[in-house]
Structure 1
Protein backbone atom coordinates (compact mmCIF):
# COMPACT_ATOMS: atom_id res chain seq x y z
CA UNK A 1 0.00 0.00 0.00
CA UNK A 2 1.77 3.11 -1.28
CA UNK A 3 1.72 6.30 0.80
CA UNK A 4 0.76 8.20 -2.35
CA UNK A 5 -2.33 6.06 -3.06
CA UNK A 6 -5.87 6.71 -1.91
CA UNK A 7 -6.10 3.38 -0.05
CA UNK A 8 -3.24 4.26 2.32
CA UNK A 9 -4.92 7.53 3.31
CA UNK A 10 -8.38 5.94 3.50
CA UNK A 11 -7.10 3.26 5.90
CA UNK A 12 -5.46 5.91 8.08
CA UNK A 13 -8.71 7.86 8.00
CA UNK A 14 -10.59 4.79 9.24
CA UNK A 15 -8.08 4.23 12.05
CA UNK A 16 -8.30 7.84 13.18
CA UNK A 17 -12.10 7.83 12.87
CA UNK A 18 -12.21 4.77 15.13
CA UNK A 19 -9.96 6.50 17.67
CA UNK A 20 -12.14 9.61 17.36
CA UNK A 21 -15.21 7.64 18.41
CA UNK A 22 -13.53 6.09 21.44
CA UNK A 23 -11.86 9.32 22.58
CA UNK A 24 -15.05 11.31 21.99
CA UNK A 25 -17.13 8.88 24.05
CA UNK A 26 -14.69 9.36 26.93
CA UNK A 27 -14.61 13.13 26.34
CA UNK A 28 -18.37 13.77 26.36
CA UNK A 29 -18.81 12.24 29.78
CA UNK A 30 -20.02 14.95 32.14
CA UNK A 31 -19.92 17.82 29.61
CA UNK A 32 -22.51 19.25 27.24
CA UNK A 33 -22.09 17.60 23.84
CA UNK A 34 -22.31 20.94 21.98
CA UNK A 35 -19.53 22.42 24.11
CA UNK A 36 -17.46 19.27 23.55
CA UNK A 37 -17.93 19.69 19.79
CA UNK A 38 -16.81 23.32 19.97
CA UNK A 39 -13.68 22.38 21.95
CA UNK A 40 -12.90 19.61 19.44
CA UNK A 41 -13.33 22.04 16.52
CA UNK A 42 -11.08 24.65 18.11
CA UNK A 43 -8.36 22.06 18.66
CA UNK A 44 -8.66 20.90 15.03
CA UNK A 45 -8.12 24.51 13.93
CA UNK A 46 -5.14 24.91 16.27
CA UNK A 47 -3.55 21.74 14.88
CA UNK A 48 -4.25 22.30 11.19
CA UNK A 49 -3.38 26.00 10.86
CA UNK A 50 0.33 25.58 11.77
CA UNK A 51 0.54 22.41 9.67
CA UNK A 52 -0.77 24.15 6.54
CA UNK A 53 1.45 27.17 7.15
CA UNK A 54 4.61 25.14 7.92
CA UNK A 55 4.14 22.95 4.85
CA UNK A 56 3.97 26.02 2.62
CA UNK A 57 0.41 25.28 1.53
CA UNK A 58 -1.12 28.50 2.88
CA UNK A 59 -2.73 30.82 0.35
CA UNK A 60 -5.32 33.55 0.59
CA UNK A 61 -8.65 31.70 0.91
CA UNK A 62 -10.51 34.77 -0.36
CA UNK A 63 -8.64 34.48 -3.66
CA UNK A 64 -10.38 31.16 -4.31
CA UNK A 65 -13.26 31.11 -6.80
CA UNK A 66 -16.65 31.87 -5.18
CA UNK A 67 -18.00 28.44 -6.20
CA UNK A 68 -15.15 26.73 -4.30
CA UNK A 69 -15.78 28.88 -1.23
CA UNK A 70 -19.52 28.14 -1.41
CA UNK A 71 -19.02 24.37 -1.48
CA UNK A 72 -16.36 24.50 1.24
CA UNK A 73 -18.78 26.54 3.38
CA UNK A 74 -21.57 24.04 2.73
CA UNK A 75 -19.20 21.19 3.60
CA UNK A 76 -18.25 22.98 6.82
CA UNK A 77 -21.90 23.47 7.75
CA UNK A 78 -22.62 19.80 7.09
CA UNK A 79 -19.55 18.82 9.14
CA UNK A 80 -20.68 20.98 12.05
CA UNK A 81 -24.16 19.48 11.96
CA UNK A 82 -22.72 15.96 11.71
CA UNK A 83 -20.35 16.49 14.62
CA UNK A 84 -23.05 18.03 16.82
CA UNK A 85 -25.34 15.07 16.14
CA UNK A 86 -22.51 12.55 16.54
CA UNK A 87 -21.45 13.87 19.94
CA UNK A 88 -25.06 14.00 21.13
CA UNK A 89 -25.56 10.39 20.00
CA UNK A 90 -22.32 9.29 21.70
CA UNK A 91 -23.44 10.86 24.93
CA UNK A 92 -26.52 8.66 25.11
CA UNK A 93 -25.67 5.62 22.99
CA UNK A 94 -23.14 2.83 22.78
CA UNK A 95 -20.00 3.79 20.84
CA UNK A 96 -20.06 0.86 18.39
CA UNK A 97 -23.75 1.35 17.74
CA UNK A 98 -23.40 5.09 17.11
CA UNK A 99 -20.33 4.60 14.92
CA UNK A 100 -22.08 1.94 12.85
CA UNK A 101 -25.02 4.19 12.10
CA UNK A 102 -22.64 7.09 11.41
CA UNK A 103 -20.68 4.95 8.94
CA UNK A 104 -23.93 4.04 7.22
CA UNK A 105 -23.32 7.43 5.64
CA UNK A 106 -21.38 5.37 3.07
CA UNK A 107 -24.77 4.36 1.66
CA UNK A 108 -25.84 7.98 1.40
CA UNK A 109 -22.49 9.01 -0.10
CA UNK A 110 -22.89 6.41 -2.84
CA UNK A 111 -26.44 7.58 -3.59
CA UNK A 112 -25.54 11.29 -3.48
CA UNK A 113 -22.43 10.73 -5.62
CA UNK A 114 -24.60 8.97 -8.19
CA UNK A 115 -27.32 11.63 -8.14
CA UNK A 116 -25.20 14.78 -7.94
CA UNK A 117 -21.76 13.84 -9.29
CA UNK A 118 -22.70 11.20 -11.83
CA UNK A 119 -20.32 8.68 -10.25
CA UNK A 120 -21.10 5.10 -11.17
CA UNK A 121 -20.33 2.06 -9.06
CA UNK A 122 -20.00 -1.53 -10.25
CA UNK A 123 -22.57 -4.08 -9.14
CA UNK A 124 -19.96 -5.48 -6.75
CA UNK A 125 -19.46 -2.04 -5.21
CA UNK A 126 -23.24 -1.60 -4.84
CA UNK A 127 -23.31 -4.98 -3.10
CA UNK A 128 -20.69 -3.66 -0.68
CA UNK A 129 -22.76 -0.52 -0.08
CA UNK A 130 -25.82 -2.68 0.59
CA UNK A 131 -23.87 -4.85 3.03
CA UNK A 132 -22.61 -1.78 4.90
CA UNK A 133 -26.17 -0.52 5.23
CA UNK A 134 -27.42 -3.93 6.32
CA UNK A 135 -24.58 -4.24 8.82
CA UNK A 136 -25.47 -0.90 10.38
CA UNK A 137 -29.10 -1.97 10.72
CA UNK A 138 -28.19 -5.36 12.21
CA UNK A 139 -25.76 -3.79 14.69
CA UNK A 140 -28.22 -1.10 15.79
CA UNK A 141 -31.16 -3.53 16.13
CA UNK A 142 -29.00 -6.13 17.85
CA UNK A 143 -27.60 -3.61 20.30
CA UNK A 144 -31.02 -2.18 21.13
CA UNK A 145 -32.38 -5.67 21.88
CA UNK A 146 -29.40 -6.39 24.13
CA UNK A 147 -30.37 -3.59 26.52
Structure 2
Protein backbone atom coordinates (compact mmCIF):
# COMPACT_ATOMS: atom_id res chain seq x y z
CA UNK A 1 0.00 0.00 0.00
CA UNK A 2 2.92 2.36 0.69
CA UNK A 3 3.85 2.42 -2.99
CA UNK A 4 0.42 3.79 -3.96
CA UNK A 5 0.96 6.77 -1.64
CA UNK A 6 4.50 7.20 -2.97
CA UNK A 7 3.24 7.11 -6.57
CA UNK A 8 0.55 9.67 -5.76
CA UNK A 9 3.23 11.81 -4.13
CA UNK A 10 5.29 11.65 -7.34
CA UNK A 11 2.29 12.56 -9.51
CA UNK A 12 1.41 15.55 -7.33
CA UNK A 13 5.06 16.61 -7.15
CA UNK A 14 5.13 16.63 -10.96
CA UNK A 15 1.94 18.68 -11.07
CA UNK A 16 3.48 21.03 -8.50
CA UNK A 17 6.34 21.79 -10.87
CA UNK A 18 4.03 22.48 -13.79
CA UNK A 19 1.53 24.58 -11.82
CA UNK A 20 4.33 26.50 -10.09
CA UNK A 21 6.14 27.31 -13.35
CA UNK A 22 2.98 28.91 -14.74
CA UNK A 23 2.00 30.49 -11.41
CA UNK A 24 5.31 32.25 -10.71
CA UNK A 25 5.46 34.04 -14.03
CA UNK A 26 6.03 37.69 -13.16
CA UNK A 27 5.81 37.01 -9.40
CA UNK A 28 8.59 37.10 -6.81
CA UNK A 29 9.44 33.48 -6.06
CA UNK A 30 9.46 34.06 -2.28
CA UNK A 31 5.96 35.55 -2.43
CA UNK A 32 4.81 32.59 -4.51
CA UNK A 33 6.30 30.21 -1.94
CA UNK A 34 4.52 32.04 0.89
CA UNK A 35 1.16 31.81 -0.91
CA UNK A 36 1.71 28.11 -1.59
CA UNK A 37 2.61 27.57 2.07
CA UNK A 38 -0.62 29.19 3.28
CA UNK A 39 -2.64 26.94 0.98
CA UNK A 40 -0.80 23.86 2.26
CA UNK A 41 -1.28 25.00 5.87
CA UNK A 42 -5.04 25.33 5.42
CA UNK A 43 -5.30 22.02 3.55
CA UNK A 44 -3.19 20.10 6.09
CA UNK A 45 -5.12 21.40 9.11
CA UNK A 46 -8.44 20.75 7.35
CA UNK A 47 -7.41 17.12 6.89
CA UNK A 48 -6.27 16.85 10.52
CA UNK A 49 -9.60 18.18 11.81
CA UNK A 50 -11.64 16.11 9.33
CA UNK A 51 -9.87 12.92 10.47
CA UNK A 52 -10.05 14.05 14.11
CA UNK A 53 -6.26 13.59 14.37
CA UNK A 54 -5.70 16.78 16.36
CA UNK A 55 -5.86 14.90 19.68
CA UNK A 56 -2.41 13.47 18.90
CA UNK A 57 -1.00 16.99 19.22
CA UNK A 58 -0.88 16.61 23.00
CA UNK A 59 1.04 13.33 22.77
CA UNK A 60 4.05 14.73 20.91
CA UNK A 61 7.37 14.51 22.72
CA UNK A 62 10.09 17.17 22.74
CA UNK A 63 11.98 15.03 20.22
CA UNK A 64 8.90 14.88 17.98
CA UNK A 65 8.57 18.66 18.14
CA UNK A 66 12.27 19.31 17.53
CA UNK A 67 12.53 17.09 14.47
CA UNK A 68 9.17 18.13 13.02
CA UNK A 69 10.27 21.76 13.33
CA UNK A 70 13.62 20.94 11.69
CA UNK A 71 11.75 19.07 8.94
CA UNK A 72 9.49 22.09 8.43
CA UNK A 73 12.50 24.38 8.14
CA UNK A 74 14.14 22.05 5.62
CA UNK A 75 10.89 21.85 3.63
CA UNK A 76 10.51 25.61 3.62
CA UNK A 77 14.06 26.16 2.41
CA UNK A 78 13.60 23.45 -0.21
CA UNK A 79 10.48 25.17 -1.53
CA UNK A 80 12.11 28.60 -1.58
CA UNK A 81 15.07 27.33 -3.61
CA UNK A 82 12.83 25.16 -5.81
CA UNK A 83 10.59 28.08 -6.76
CA UNK A 84 13.61 30.29 -7.45
CA UNK A 85 15.10 27.55 -9.66
CA UNK A 86 11.79 27.16 -11.50
CA UNK A 87 11.59 30.88 -12.04
CA UNK A 88 14.94 31.02 -13.83
CA UNK A 89 15.20 27.49 -15.25
CA UNK A 90 13.22 24.97 -17.25
CA UNK A 91 10.98 22.46 -15.47
CA UNK A 92 12.66 19.70 -17.49
CA UNK A 93 15.99 20.67 -15.91
CA UNK A 94 14.94 21.78 -12.43
CA UNK A 95 12.75 18.76 -11.62
CA UNK A 96 15.45 16.12 -12.24
CA UNK A 97 18.00 18.02 -10.14
CA UNK A 98 15.39 18.34 -7.38
CA UNK A 99 14.89 14.58 -7.51
CA UNK A 100 18.55 14.11 -6.60
CA UNK A 101 17.04 14.44 -3.14
CA UNK A 102 16.17 10.74 -3.45
CA UNK A 103 19.81 9.73 -3.79
CA UNK A 104 20.87 12.20 -1.10
CA UNK A 105 18.17 10.83 1.24
CA UNK A 106 19.48 7.29 0.67
CA UNK A 107 23.02 8.34 1.62
CA UNK A 108 21.81 10.27 4.67
CA UNK A 109 19.61 7.36 5.80
CA UNK A 110 22.64 5.07 5.73
CA UNK A 111 24.93 7.53 7.51
CA UNK A 112 22.56 8.93 10.14
CA UNK A 113 19.83 6.31 10.56
CA UNK A 114 21.96 3.22 10.08
CA UNK A 115 19.75 1.85 7.32
CA UNK A 116 21.40 -0.89 5.28
CA UNK A 117 22.81 -0.02 1.87
CA UNK A 118 22.04 -2.96 -0.36
CA UNK A 119 23.42 -3.43 -3.84
CA UNK A 120 19.94 -2.77 -5.23
CA UNK A 121 19.61 0.51 -3.30
CA UNK A 122 23.12 1.66 -4.27
CA UNK A 123 22.48 0.86 -7.93
CA UNK A 124 19.14 2.66 -7.83
CA UNK A 125 20.72 5.76 -6.30
CA UNK A 126 23.52 5.59 -8.86
CA UNK A 127 21.02 5.41 -11.72
CA UNK A 128 19.12 8.38 -10.31
CA UNK A 129 22.34 10.40 -10.23
CA UNK A 130 23.34 9.25 -13.71
CA UNK A 131 19.85 9.95 -15.06
CA UNK A 132 19.89 13.44 -13.59
CA UNK A 133 23.15 14.25 -15.34
CA UNK A 134 21.82 12.85 -18.62
CA UNK A 135 18.71 15.04 -18.39
CA UNK A 136 20.50 18.27 -17.49
CA UNK A 137 23.48 17.96 -19.83
TM class by smaller structure? over 0.9
**Corresponding residue for 1:14?**
10
* Structure 1 range deviating more: 82-91 or 116-125: 116-125
What's the TM-score, normalizing by structure 2?
0.96
Once the two structures are TM-superposed, the CA of residue 60 in structure 1 deviates from its matched residue by: 5.9
Root-mean-square deviation (CA), in Å? 1.1
Instruction: Structure 1: give runs of 5+ residues left out of the alignment.
Output: 142-147
The answer to whether structure 1 residue 30 and structure 2 residue 26 are counterparts is yes
Paired with 1:9 and 1:60, the residues of 2 have a C-alpha distance of 22
- Select 1:66's aligned residue among 62, 65, 82: 62
Say if 2:123 is the partner of 1:127: yes
TM-score w.r.t. length of structure 1: 0.90
Q: Equivalents in 1 of 2:56, 2:131: separation in Å? A: 43
What residue is the counterpart of 1:106 in the other structure? 102
Q: Which has the higher contact order (CA 8 A, sep 6+)?
A: 2
Deviation at 1:30, TM superposition (A): 0.6
**Paired positions, count:** 137
The runs of 5 or more residues in structure 2 that have no matched partner are none
Q: Residue 31 of structure 1: SS of its match in structure 2?
A: coil
> Tell me, what secondary structure is at the counterpart of 1:59?
helix
Distance 1:129 1:63 in 2: 36
Q: Distance in 2 between matches of 1:35 and 1:62?
A: 32
Q: Distance in 2 between matches of 1:63 and 1:126?
A: 37
